[in-house]
Amino acid sequence: MSADAIQSRRDWLLSERPASRMQARLGRAYVAWRRFSANRLAFLGLLIIIALLVVAALAGVLAPYSPTFGDLKGSRLLAPSAEHWFGTDDLGRDILSRILYGSRWTLYVVILVAIIAAPIGLLVGTVAGYAGGWTDAILMRITDIFLAFPKLILALAFVAALGPGIENAVLAIAITSWPPYARIARAETLTVRNSDYIKAVQLMGASPFRIVLRHIMPLCISSLIVRVTLDMAGIILTAAGLGFLGLGAQPPLPEWGTMIASGRRFVLDQWWVAGAPGFAILIVSLGFNLLGDGLRDALDPRSGDQ
């Protein structure tokens, strides 16, 4: 594509008078991408998350050994070497293979919690903000009750009631993660509830359900995406904490928190058993934090100007 064609396409995207909704949306997306890609740390975070997705998808190809079976007789607690890059654990299993397969469980937890918690918080917050009155008071007091407890402690209580397991851990984390999203959605709703275009939609006879669903919720999506991305690191750490305490994923699943728990007995002499999965958690959490910061600046230009 020639330079003139590229410049023409860029001018079309950046037009101050778009001819269609599609052109306006593509223009906003292009501006957001330019702002995001200019942030090198955010781009680094994006690369880390892309690498996590690739590793999770190709774990069966990349892993040199089985994540659940090992050579207990001849490969127990071997130090990192050319044969076992990250060493082996107390059951002779290759730690690198377990970390690669464990990335799947990390994504499993993160994606399911986001799918469950974000819509609940969005619904509660927009309904409370638009309805006001007793509806707002009741929903926000319920939200305050959840916010009054530390997330990990509340998740521990739910998992203790539901029983240990990765599915129950996901449900417990989701139950404790929605209140901040509800607060954000309510704040966004309060800022637009009395705006002119909402009044115009009301005069056209739209029902409250349609106004919330079609005209208010879409305005809250960008803020919610940023908050969910920033919360990914906390979700990973909470899941790892539950696994460390024996209430999350159960052996022999290669979940990173469970791997740290099994390696804590050897942390002084065989540091790699707990250190390797801990470093994986550190890198992925850092990636999500950098990505969230970049998305915040890209989707909300005011935050980058302050």
In this structure, what is the dihedral angle of CA atoms 208, 209, 211, 215, given to the nearest 10 degrees?
160
Residue 201: count other Cβ atoms within 10 Å of its Cβ. Answer: 17
pLDDT in the model for residue 143: 94
**Cα–Cα–Cα angle for 10, 225, 28, nearest 5°?**
15
The structural domains of the chain, with segments of one domain joined by +, span 49-299
Q: What is the pLDDT of residues 182-196, one digit of tens each?
A: 999 999 999 888 888
Rama region for 163: left / alpha / beta (φ>0; ψ in -120 to 50; rest): left
Residue 206 has pLDDT above 50, yes or no: yes
pLDDT given for residue 303 in this prediction = 46
Instruction: Provide the pLDDT for residue 1.
Output: 55
The DSSP letter of residue 96 is H
- Is residue 15 within a helix (H) or strand (E), and if so which, with residue range? none
Q: What is the pLDDT of residues 132-151, one digit of tens each?
A: 889 999 999 999 999 998 88
- pLDDT of the residue at 305: 43
The residue that leads in pLDDT, 52 or 304, is 52
CA distance 65 to 68: 9
Segments in the chain forming alpha helices (H): 3-13, 21-37, 40-57, 59-62, 95-131, 133-147, 151-162, 166-192, 196-203, 208-210, 217-244, 256-263, 272-299, 301-305
DSSP 8-state code for residue 250: P
Topology of the domain covering 49-299: MetI-like fold (1.10.3720)
- Record the pTM: 0.83
pLDDT(306) > 70: no
**What are 13-65's pLDDT values in tens digits?**
777 777 777 877 787 888 888 888 888 999 999 999 999 999 999 999 999 99
Tens of pLDDT, residue by residue over 83-129, are 999 999 988 899 999 999 999 999 999 999 999 999 999 999 999 99
